Amino acid sequence: MRTVAIVQARMTSARLPGKVLTDLGGQPVLARVLNRVARARMIGDIVVATTTQTSDDVLAETCAERGWHSFRGNEIDVLDRYYHAAKAYKADNIVRVTADCPLVEPEVIDLVVGTLLETNYDYASNVLKRTYPRGLDVEAMTCTCLSRAWHEASEPWHRAHVTPYVYLNPGKFRLASVTGDADFSAHRWTVDTPQDLEFVKAVYNRLGNDDAFSWRDVLRILAEEPWLANINRNVTQKSPQEC
């Protein structure tokens, strides 16, 4: 069974344009994401899924220069982009990660993928019931599940966010919720605004700008310096309907 991580990325983020190639301790944010995903034991391959827009030519060029697999597809219909990327790379299962999560955790990726592979589910994730910090989001699904969503989803926001059609239809799909031992969901570790980027830079700086750390190391830093969480505490998460 071939499990492929597909990392969606584009340059035209509304609140922080160009964030995925912004420097984070000497490497682009996207490189940090890919480095951390690559440490997951249950991932067979990683693909950067960007768009066909000229604004994303620089992303495609960066992927080529660094030897990263990439795929270019629909800008707005991200479900379509994922579907065709999965077909192009002959995936049996896909893992969805976004390029604005430079603290994404290999251990959590393996936990979610393992849940999918070891059970008879169509979809597994740690976002159905949040206990992990926002920014450690991982979704895994069979390509049969992805294909059905691609064929059936009609709401624009379902297609823009890839998976809502799946998790909002538990009667059609077998869903597995992966949760942790404690609730850390109040933490915001994703990068969507300048304040988010400032927070993540502070974390990387304290860890020597080396991305080979655990999410528990981040929790330790926050326990030692709780004021760091104030950097982006007031950032509000956009709703899925805000395409």
The neighbour count for residue 224, using CB atoms within 10 Å, is 9
Q: What per-residue confidence (pLDDT) applies to 241?
A: 54
* Residue 214 phi, psi (nearest 5): -100, 155
Q: What per-residue confidence (pLDDT) applies to 242?
A: 55
pLDDT tens figures, 74-114? 999 999 999 999 999 999 999 999 999 999 999 999 999 99
Is the pLDDT score of 239 beyond 70? no
Instruction: Name the token pair of 110.
Output: 């393996």
Summarize the confidence of residues 6-29 as an average pLDDT: 95
- The residues, any chain, with a CB within 8 Å of residue 220's CB and separated by 6 or more, are none
* Residue 81 phi, psi (nearest 5): -60, -45
| Top-level class of domain 3-191 | alpha beta
Taking the C-alpha atoms of residue 55 and residue 66, their distance in angstroms, rounded to an integer, is 19
Q: What per-residue confidence (pLDDT) applies to 119?
A: 85
Is the pLDDT score of 159 beyond 60? yes
- The residues, any chain, with a CB within 8 Å of residue 189's CB and separated by 6 or more, are 101, 103, 133, 134, 135, 136, 199, 200, 203, 218
Summarize the confidence of residues 137-143 as an average pLDDT: 98
Taking the C-alpha atoms of residue 235 and residue 64, their distance in angstroms, rounded to an integer, is 34
The overall pTM is greater than 0.85: yes
DSSP 211-240: S---HHHHHHHHHH-GGGGGGSTTPPPPPT
